[in-house]
Amino acid sequence: MANIVEEIKQPINEEMKLFEQKFYESMQSKVALLDKVTRFIVTTKGKQMRPMFVFLCAKLVGEVNEKTYRGASMIELIHTATLVHDDVVDESFKRRNFFSINALWKNKIAVLVGDFLLSKAVLLSTDHKDYDLLSVISRTIREMSEGELLQLEKARKLDITEDVYYEIIRQKTATLIAACCEIGALSNDADENLAKKMMEFGTYTGMAFQIKDDLFDYLSSNFIGKPVGIDIKEQKMTLPLIHSLKIASETERKYFFNTIKRYNNDQKRVKELIAFVKSSGGLDYAIQVMKDFQQKAKNILNEFPDSEVRKSLHMMLDYVIERKF
């Protein structure tokens, strides 16, 4: 899988190398403690899929320029800030096999670091008068927060329909990938229609990405970063489960709702629920929906002339649904 990521990066290799330096510069501060934390963030970074989307989409419609680098840094600042805040909310002490910031520096510092990163993203746009990018990232931050809160609100009652689930994952996950693609286009002064098209491409990609993440809860593998059944234990209603409960008999529905509400830490009951979702076609249904979103994204891509960049974006779409973690 690592080789595939390197292959996807091929048309933007130089840009990604330069981006690392610019991203670190965008986080720097005169406060020594902040500088120490941001250096840690840079050394423990992930695959940087989101900046890759920014650069690839910029190259799909034009050229990579200074505004593209600022847009990619803004995206990565927002993404990092939300991960830092998520670890505090989830009381998680590990991130990508490293200790999380809240584990190393405690919650108070982690929350303040997240706030600092968000402010840096906003300042990066206002300092350079990139008001079109500021509009995109402001909307993105709002939607990501709304998506998380909608999920929390619905988790209390477990009344998530399929439509509500799509709205949650659109806001929680897809909106940031959509922002990457839209910003890539806007950095080339794309018109409204082209920017909207790239945003739709990102939305469909993000929806497929999140459904794949939700499928991991039912698939046992050594590569996967989270234990099987963790979403059920956290009472998260995901697509395979929503579909299975919708077609279940009244008796089954009551029994399994009870599992989620009261016995979500009972290993035997959780295993039963996972087996039920598999046997009732919940996984197959979710896989098909995921592939439908992937195809919608590919249809948009195919409107553009054939190029190395388009090929990389096609590979990225395949990677999104074939990845093992």
* Residue found by looking up tokens 């996967």 in the block: 224
pLDDT digits (tens, 9 = 90+) for 79-97: 888 887 677 766 665 555 5
Range of the domain at 165: 2-322
* Residue found by looking up tokens 């993404």 in the block: 79
Can you tell me the distance from the alpha carbon of 276 to that of 285, in angstroms, rounded to the nearest whole number? 14
CA distances from 303 to 64, 165, 239 (A): 20, 29, 30
- Domains held by the chain: number: 1
Q: How many CB atoms lie within 10 A of CB 324?
A: 11
Nearest to 79 by CA among 32, 124, 45, 40: 45
8 Å CB contact between 38 and 29: yes
pLDDT at 170 over 80: yes
Q: How many CB atoms lie within 10 A of CB 10?
A: 12
H or E stretch including 129? none
Report CA torsion sign: 81, 121, 183, 45: negative
In this predicted structure, what is the pLDDT of residue 209?
94
Report CA torsion sign: 264, 266, 267, 273: negative
Radius of gyration, CA atoms only, the chain: 20
* Residue found by looking up tokens 């990389």 in the block: 312
Nearest to 198 by CA among 67, 314, 56, 57: 57
Least confident of 112-126, 190-204, 213-227, 267-281: 213-227
Average pLDDT over every residue of 100-110: 70
Domain harbouring 222, CATH code: 1.10.600.10
pLDDT digits (tens, 9 = 90+) for 50-64: 999 999 999 999 999
At residue 100 the predicted structure's pLDDT band, cuts being 50, 70 and 90, is low
pLDDT at 107 over 80: no
Three-class DSSP category at 161:
coil
- Please, is 17 exposed, middle or buried when counting C-beta atoms within 10 Å of its C-beta (0-12, 13-18, 19+)? exposed
CA distances from 232 to 143, 229, 293, 324 (A): 24, 5, 24, 20
* Residue found by looking up tokens 């929503």 in the block: 242
At residue 224 the predicted structure's pLDDT band, cuts being 50, 70 and 90, is very low
* pTM of this prediction exceeds 0.75: yes
pLDDT digits (tens, 9 = 90+) for 205-214: 999 999 998 9
3-state secondary structure 182-241: HHHHHCCCCCHHHHHHHHHHHHHHHHHHHHHHHHHHHCCCCCCCCCCCHHHHCCCCCHHH
At residue 262 the predicted structure's pLDDT band, cuts being 50, 70 and 90, is confident
Can you tell me the distance from the alpha carbon of 315 to that of 36, in angstroms, rounded to the nearest whole number? 36
CA distances from 289 to 166, 204, 278, 281 (A): 11, 11, 16, 12
CA 112 from centre of chain = 22
Which residues on adjacent β-strands are paired with residue 99?
Answer: 94
